[in-house]
Amino acid sequence: MKIVFAGTPAFAVSSLRAAARHHEVVAVYTQPDRPAGRGRGLAPSPVKLDAIARGIPVFQPESLKTPEAQQQLRDLQPDLMVVVAYGLILPKAVLTIPTHGCWNVHASLLPRWRGAAPIQRAIQAGDTETGVCLMQMEAGLDTGPVLLKQHIAIGANDTGGQLHDRLAALGEQVLSDGLGLLRAGIKPIAQPQPEAGVTYAHKLDKAEARLDWSGDAQALARTVRAFNPWPIAEATLAGERVRIHGAIALEDNQGKAPGTLLAASREGIDIACGQGALRLRVLQREGGKAITAADYLNARRDLGVGA
């Protein structure tokens, strides 16, 4: 089969690997190079780097809505287009170009968590299970029928980064299974998504990373996990702005006002919340690197170190 692959971030690289393993990937579409790093120089996407290493032609249109971009895709005569976290909207005209249409690898159990950030939103909401769906794309946002899916448990300590890596590997497996069936002449049966249970995983915003001590400690701990490694939760601790890479929720806030420092020991720094308390275990000072609470307290003797 002649496959066109469209994807941009690291999550999509393993799916590109699956597509290229037994099929001819005639082209890779990825977003234009973007400024990155301290120098703000243009940086290629992880998918572009992988495609170049494989010798696959790379196309980076600003949009697929123009007649020129659509004709370019048409000229490739693809049997299938595989889309994984591409980041650009596929117009209806594009969806009909490949013989078998467009497949999407999506990191949730649809219809839950349609949208841009399903991995982080699942952790943030306290879900105990998620997965990957292979979906036949249609004009709506992640509304297409599901071809194949796999479930995976969300661990109590999973961070966004850890779950991302596990789901990327699962996405590779699910896509490989689907492509194997199609290559054998068996198209997976498309199951329409149920109308009940639809939720949307809105794009992450750095402003959300600011922790509000008046909130519930359990919810704040989930946000810390969900936003690691990006955008990383942050808060004010004894007058200093810090980023929080690791924290756990405690039940007792000792009746203190939200934001009150309850204890500071090598086990962590306990802060009263609206409900319960949050124990900060891994922190990052401005301009520094992530360190344990014990190392942080060595530099903040004013907070006091318990037993």
Determine whether the annotation assigns residue 110 to a binding site. yes
Determine whether the annotation assigns residue 32 to a binding site. no
Determine whether the annotation assigns residue 109 to a binding site. yes
Determine whether the annotation assigns residue 204 to a binding site. no
Which own/partner contact pairs does 112-115 have at CB distance under 8 Å and 24+ positions apart? 112/197, 112/198, 112/199, 113/199, 113/200, 113/201, 114/141, 114/142, 114/143, 114/198, 114/199, 114/200, 114/201, 115/141, 115/142, 115/200, 115/201, 115/202, 115/203
Q: Quote the CA–CA distance of 164 and 39 in Å, as a whole number.
A: 27
Are the C-beta atoms of 116 and 37 separated by less than 8 Å?
Answer: no
State the alpha helices, DSSP H only, in 6-81: 13-22, 46-54, 67-75
- Cβ-based neighbour number of residue 224 at 10 Å: 30
What are the two backbone dihedrals, phi and then psi, of residue 121, each rounded to the nearest 5 degrees?
-70, -35
Binding site: what residues are annotated? 108-111
Binding site for (6S)-5,6,7,8-tetrahydrofolate: what residues are annotated? 108-111
